[in-house]
Amino acid sequence: EDALQSMEATTEMESLFNLYGFEAADCTNLLDDKDLLDYTATVADTSANAKPLAEIEAAADASGSTRSKSGSASAAATGPSGGPLVRLSGGTAAGVDENAAADWRRCTDRVTGSDSSAEVEVSLRPVHRLPPDSRYMFQRYGDCLAAVDAQFDILRRRLLAQLSAPADGGASLPVTAPDEVSHEPCVLIGRVAPPPGAAAAAAAATSTSGTSATVTATAGPSEVDGRLAPPALLLECPAASSGSSIVNVDLSGCEQSRYSLFPGQVVAVRGSNPTGRLFLAEAVLTPTAPPPRQLSPPGPPCLDLAVASGPFDAASLSALLRVCAGGRERPHALLLSGTGWRRAPLFGRVDPALESAAKFCQQRGVQLVVQAPPGPVYPTPELPCPGHGALCVPDPAQLIVQPWGHRLAFTGVDSVAHLAAEEVSGGGGGGATEGGSGDRLGRLAGHLLSQCSMYPLLPSHDSLPLDYPLWGRHCLLGDDTPHLLIAASQVKPFIKLLPTAAVEQGSQTPCCCFVNPGRLSRGTYGRVRLGPDGQLVEAEVLRL
């Protein structure tokens, strides 16, 4: 009977690895570990009799049935291709050779070496928590508008600061009202409105104050299957005193400036308004995020993180824990998000698989951070905490890492794919502040930082029920740009350095590291190493 169960577990895992694209040799290496087979057979059983992963690991180590932990980590880091999928080191992208995994091990010797004085005790503290008495999706119209306008005010101040000191050193242009006639060059600041005919067009055209000033727009050339279609554009210009106005913008004059737009984006349009009814745009400018907070490093050690996103099952979770927490190259913290945990809010029961993972990480000195899986509302409340040193956070979440003070922000919602479905680009030339970037993945990731929101698309995607008041309190980044921004997506895994505003003229531009670790069900996860000053040292996307 035991042999039959092992054969069934082996067959199941071989089919999983074939599905995820692993080579036969990698299947054999992992299937040689008896503890992994036992865990696959037991963790799926959510009864109280399921054997915890820590007990399995201890029994396997005692019997000598497993390979050395250094060998296990090496196999996981190299993957079927012999190297990481994506690597970013020292602030620049570089090719990866067959020794890339060894390079990563060398840079993590601080964690795995025998010198215990080099190890640092790490604690993570959430910046915000969803109140337990929150009334989800109970949204009053005024509260929704207040949340959206709060984001607009933050971005408007940033744009005004940029316009007051142009990058080319020229004279600053005046900021005009949407209906003000101007034959001279001027600037108009507003939010890209959804096309007329969309379900949320009425919300974009209504007043933001007690005085209603609704403007009804007729369907025009910017309505194509509910998507934006330049060169015609509708720009909403909220005003606290006079309500909201919508002005038509013609982007056909942006021949020397490239733009990338989506509904809900706050931009500054440079051009003229000869009639007061149609703004002739020459360039579109986007806000630049402030630099991450400068840190006072307590010492030379760096912060090592492992990040992964579901969906995941027992096999992929077990393999991840063995590589990250069970190997020699242990990170300070392991961040998990996405589907994979079960939620029982009525009884507050903890998922047995989550409890086993928390025990396993606690025994190995790795801080486990679990983000809530996708729920019927966004932001999503956290799961019941299993204890054992684990930290459960809502989605999205922002964390402060002590003793360094690094600021992390991560979400399990596919913001990148949602933006990719709505974004339109055009024009020619242009720079970074004018949306001119040929790197589409970097441009999509940059929208989150530029719009100071972990979900900047407004109105939200049809599949995402957005609670606007909670979105305004927990999704906005504000003036604290994170050092690391993690957003898992179904697009291919990637790592980008997103530039922010320079601290002073001529100084080096600080960057925020954006990581898309991919999906753990596809066999990918990320490793990130941040220096004591908050800047990226090295980041990789690896295959299990």
Q: Of the given ranges (20-29, 78-87, 407-416), which has the lowest mean pLDDT?
A: 20-29
Q: How far apart are the first and last CA of the chain?
A: 30
113 within domain boundaries: no
pLDDT given at position 139: 87
| Residue at which a domain ends, from 259, 287, 315 | 287
- Average pLDDT in the 391-416 region? 89
- pLDDT band at 45; cut points 50, 70, 90: very low
Q: Are 372 and 392 in contact (CB under 8 A)?
A: yes
pLDDT tens per residue across span 330-379: 888 999 988 766 655 545 566 777 888 888 888 888 889 999 888 889 99
Confidence of residue 451 (pLDDT cuts 50, 70, 90): very high
Instruction: Output the domain CATH number for residue 233.
Output: 2.40.50.140
Residues 450 and 470 in one domain: yes
Strand pairing class (397-402; 123-126): antiparallel
Upstream peptide bond of 396 is cis (omega within 30 degrees of 0)? yes
Phi, psi of 196, deg, nearest 5: -60, 140
Residue 382 sits in the same domain as residue 465: yes
Closest CA to 378 of 461, 438, 436: 461
How many other C-beta atoms are found inside a 10 Å radius of the C-beta of residue 487?
25
How long a stretch of residues is the chain? 544
d(CA 215, CA 447): 28
pLDDT-derived band at 525 (thresholds 50, 70, 90) equals very high
Same domain membership, residue 356 and residue 487: yes
The boundaries of the domain holding residue 491 are 120-137+291-424+439-543
Which of 398, 395, 444 minimizes the C-alpha distance to 422? 444
* Number of domains present in the structure of the chain: 2
Per-residue pLDDT of 29-40, as tens digits, reads: 333 334 333 333
Q: Is residue 394 part of a domain?
A: yes
Residue 219 lies in a domain: no
Is 399 contained in some domain? yes
Contact between 129 and 396 under an 8 Å Cβ cutoff? The reply is no
The residue with tokens 């508008």 is: 145
Reported as a pLDDT band with limits 50, 70 and 90, residue 291 is confident
Alpha-carbon distance of 190 to 205, in angstroms, equals 12
Is residue 373 domain-resident? Answer: yes
CA distances to 168, 186, 274, 496 from 171, rounded to whole Å, are 9, 11, 21, 33
Judge residue 90's burial from the number of C-beta atoms within 10 Å of its C-beta, 0-12 exposed, 13-18 middle, 19 or more buried.
exposed
Q: Is the pLDDT of residue 98 over 50?
A: no
Q: Helix, strand, coil: what percent of the chain each, to 5?
A: 30, 25, 45
Is residue 142 within a helix (H) or strand (E), and if so which, with residue range? helix 141-164
157 in helix, strand or coil?
helix
d(CA 49, CA 51): 6
Asked whether residue 299 falls in the same domain as residue 241, the answer is: no
Residue 396 amino acid letter:
P
Q: Are residues 278 and 302 in the same domain?
A: no
Rounded distance between C-alpha atoms, residue 264 and residue 250, angstroms: 18
Cis peptide before 311 (omega within 30 of 0): yes
Residue 218 lies in a domain: no
Look-up: residue for tokens 């609704």? 214
CATH of the domain at 388: 3.60.21.50
Task: Give the C-alpha distances (Å, rounded to integers) separating 29 from 10, 234, 285.
Answer: 12, 58, 53
Q: Give domain status of residue 327, yes or no.
A: yes
397: confidence class by pLDDT, cuts 50, 70, 90:
very high
Position 266 confidence tier, pLDDT thresholds 50, 70, 90: very high
Q: Give the closest residue to 527 by CA, choosing from 518, 514, 536, 540.
A: 540
Contacts of 18 (CB under 8 A, 6+ apart): 27
The reply to whether 298 and 267 lie within a common domain is: no
Residues 417 and 494 in one domain: yes
